[in-house]
Amino acid sequence: MTIDLTALKADNLARWQRARSTSDFASVARRLVTGKSRYQAVSVQAGVPWYVIAVIHERESSQSWTASLAQGDPWDHVSVHVPAGRGPFKSWEDAAVDALVNCAPYAARWKDWSIGGTLTLLEQYNGLGYARRGVPSPYIWAGTDQYRSGKYVRDGVYDPDAVDKQLGCAGLLLAMKALDASIFPSTASVPSVPPPSQATPAQPPSIAHPAKGSIGDLVASLVRAVILTFKRS
């Protein structure tokens, strides 16, 4: 079943707009914001917003700096979980760049970092099995009123009664945004011209400044021509 990502973006945005926290995200949000400089170093190389990297890090490995962003395996060993066969790497940052650039869903190629687009990329990072079932992904919505139960307890096995105890990405981003204004910054542009109430009023026509195309403008042109001829003689 092919998922309509445009429709999923709209669904995720609508859920974001009405979501309310049912868990305490504050302490984890503060911890993730504290790691901002390390996430920014990866962001520069991969082109993925730092706060997206932060919430993936939390979901995949509870922000362990010894674990890969790709699947939580130790980054200084060859990974055994999907994506398997990655590494070893020289640093957490190198492993993170590899995860974002070279591993599905290839977050470094994603271009839509709006709220709906970001949440949809994050959902793809975990897999679209929930979207195929038409239910909210706990990877995104756990800890909010948009999620109650339902979880893939292992690959391909969905338990409708299981509850994801990890905090979801949406609630984490909401809590982080309250601490750091660079998260989902405003894209509103400054008007290129002032509004009518602030614009400089046009100068009314006068003898010194006749309206263009008027008889006064014609007479003024003739006078200027005469004066210019006189100066040249």
Residues 6-52 pLDDT 10s = 999 999 999 999 999 999 999 999 999 999 999 999 999 999 999 99
What pLDDT does 1 receive? 73
For residue 62, what are the CA distances in angstroms to 59, 68, 89, 106, 188?
Answer: 6, 11, 19, 21, 34
Does 231 score more than 80 pLDDT?
Answer: no
Does 147 score more than 50 pLDDT?
Answer: yes
Model confidence at 220, pLDDT cuts 50, 70, 90, reads low
This prediction has a pTM of 0.78
Place of tokens 């709906």: 116
Listed by start position, the domains of the chain span: 5-177, 203-233
Within a 10 A sphere around the Cβ of 194, how many other Cβ atoms? 9
- Helix, strand, coil distribution of the chain in percent, nearest 5: 45, 5, 50
